[in-house]
Amino acid sequence: MLNSLNRIYNVGIYIRLSREDDDKTEMSESIINQKSLLFQYVKENNLTVYDTYIDDGYSGTNFDRPNFNRLLKDIELGKVNMVITKDMSRLGRDYIGTGNLIEKFFPEHNVRYIAVTDNIDTFLDSSNNDIAPFKAIMNDMYAKDISKKIKSSLKAKMKEGKWVGGRAPFGYDQDKNDKNHLVINKEQADTIKRIFTMCLEGLSFYKIAKQLTSEGIKTPAEYYSFEWKSHYNLKYGQWHPKTIRDILTNRMYIGDMVQNRRSKINYKVKKVIKNSESDYIIVENTHEAIIDRELFYEVQKRIPKNVGRKEKKENHLLDGLLYCGDCGHRISITSRRRKDNRCYTICNYYRTYMNKKICTTHSNNYDELEKIIINSLTKMCLNYISKDKIKNNVLSNLEENNEFNNKKELEILNNDIKQINDNLDLIYIEKLNKKITAEQYERVKLKLENKLSIKQKKYNELNNDINDTMTEKSKNKIIVEYINKFLSMKDPNRELIVNLIDRIEIFEDKNINIKVTFNNMY
């Protein structure tokens, strides 16, 4: 049942045993117990386990647990997309923190969470998902409940073919008498009809866009300019090929209601994700068509599946690194001209809106430009290497000394931590054997735990420091390797260039600004 959702799950099993669990729960919560229950569950549901994360002796009231943190890291790295615990309290006893995980962190990372004995499964909309424990503590659970109800009533309306999207799609208006019904907007519909006709006549998206723009036909952006935030309509009044494609493939225009194209992850996360086409809710013939069904499907045959550019014939060393210094858009490299066998650079923004006089050509002979840039890069590299040598000579002794001291201190801290943990174990056993009273135990435990957290904090800080300098050092080492390689090569390859150059800005006045990756190293 768990795999029915068309998705492969990599499970992170999380197990926690806390020292506070007294002897009675100790038995049922023991690590072996949790493990066997969870592996049984995983087996029954045919799931793949990515890793098991066990925190032995950590309190559930805070989230500073090493293996728990490791689990979160693996989630962030995309290695784990399903988390299973025995019950919710294994995740944590702090409801705010636990709530945060279940309501925000997991959904944001598209992680499914299951608490086996609590019957909680965050990907199921069932009453089994007992949100009661949260309700008492987190008022905003109520908000979630409502948002869920609204969601399901919206979906019910979508399934009835009622428009629920607010502003009507381009080409339509909301019916004044029934806002869930669409009526044709004559002016916009005429534009849509023209676009379909032009496509049938064999014009490309680009040519259609250009033609409409030159005639001054109003774009969707101009109709809705007050709320338009689309990424591809950079300037009102400019038809973009992507807009043309969107219109030509929109089934709304044959009278079918297509909804549920995107969804909010949940009520707390603003992120909106695109749904896959199988999640679309489509109801046929709900409103008047603008385009004849047959014509629409005739046009679909002409629409290339992939809008991505065709593979470039020639690979240039600086491909993708060039930017227009004046408008910020990318600069592309044209294919070789037949008459002089030369490539030229051109500002993309200028090229897209050629006759609108937006930005300027930024035209340069590419091969010459490449030579100039490689020369400058060589100079920058030589400069860096000489600085690096000086720095190394002066600092290496000092640093080595420092490193030695740090490592020694780390060792001492590590020993202290082990000692305190041993003592904690010891008094715990003494309490179990009734050699000390519960009050005595609590008092000593508190003291030891305080000590422990101080030492642990120091240890972590120092360790981070050491790691930081190490990564900084190794980063620098890699860069120096790249630089040396580059300096020794007659013809640099693309891999080296990409590792050494961040971006190159080209200005119309022929100024060039090279941003290298090693600039901020020191």
327 binds Zn ion (CB under 5 A): yes
Find the binder of Zn ion among 168, 199, 324, 343 (CB under 5 A).
324
Tokens representing 429? 């056993």
How big is the CA angle at 156 (ends 155 and 157), to the nearest 5 degrees? 90
State the Cα–Cα distance between residues 114 and 102, nearest whole angstrom.
10
Which is nearer to Zn ion, 107 or 325 (by Cβ)? Answer: 325
3-state secondary structure of 347: strand
Region of 13-21, 333-341, 344-352, 413-421 interacting with Zn ion (CB under 5 A): 344-352
Residue 389 beta carbon to Zn ion: minimum distance, rounded to whole angstroms: 40
Residue 352 beta carbon to Zn ion: minimum distance, rounded to whole angstroms: 10
Which is nearer to Zn ion, 297 or 507 (by Cβ)? Answer: 507
Residue 374 beta carbon to Zn ion: minimum distance, rounded to whole angstroms: 23
Region of 99-107, 311-319, 358-366, 432-440 interacting with Zn ion (CB under 5 A): 358-366
Which is nearer to Zn ion, 359 or 479 (by Cβ)? Answer: 359
Find the binder of Zn ion among 80, 168, 212, 347 (CB under 5 A).
347
* CA separation, residue 268 to residues 147, 230, 265, 275, 312 (Å): 10, 23, 8, 18, 43
Question: Comparing C-alpha atoms, which of 412, 414, 417, 409 is closest to residue 449?
Answer: 417
Pairing of strands 345-347, 331-333: antiparallel
DSSP state of 262: E
Region of 190-198, 220-228, 304-312, 318-326 interacting with Zn ion (CB under 5 A): 318-326
Which is nearer to Zn ion, 152 or 361 (by Cβ)? Answer: 361
State the Cα–Cα distance between residues 27 and 241, nearest whole angstrom.
66
Find the binder of Zn ion among 42, 281, 359, 444 (CB under 5 A).
359
Backbone angles phi, psi at 511, to 5 degrees: -70, 145
Residues 378-437 that bind Zn ion (CB under 5 A): none
Which is nearer to Zn ion, 507 or 522 (by Cβ)? Answer: 507
322 binds Zn ion (CB under 5 A): no
Residue 326 beta carbon to Zn ion: minimum distance, rounded to whole angstroms: 5
DSSP state of 308: S
Residue 329 beta carbon to Zn ion: minimum distance, rounded to whole angstroms: 5
Residue 513 beta carbon to Zn ion: minimum distance, rounded to whole angstroms: 14
End-to-end Cα distance, the chain: 55
Q: How many residues bind Zn ion (CB under 5 A)?
A: 6
Residue 350 beta carbon to Zn ion: minimum distance, rounded to whole angstroms: 5
Find the binder of Zn ion among 349, 366, 384, 518 (CB under 5 A).
349
Across 330-362, b (16+ Cβ under 10 Å) vs e yields ebbbeeeeeeeeebbbbbbbbebbeeeebbeeb
* CA separation, residue 404 to residues 410, 412, 417, 457, 466 (Å): 10, 13, 20, 20, 11
Residue 216 beta carbon to Zn ion: minimum distance, rounded to whole angstroms: 24
Which is nearer to Zn ion, 296 or 349 (by Cβ)? Answer: 349
Which is nearer to Zn ion, 26 or 508 (by Cβ)? Answer: 508
Position 224, amino acid: Y
Residues that bind Zn ion (CB under 5 A): 324, 326-327, 347, 349, 359
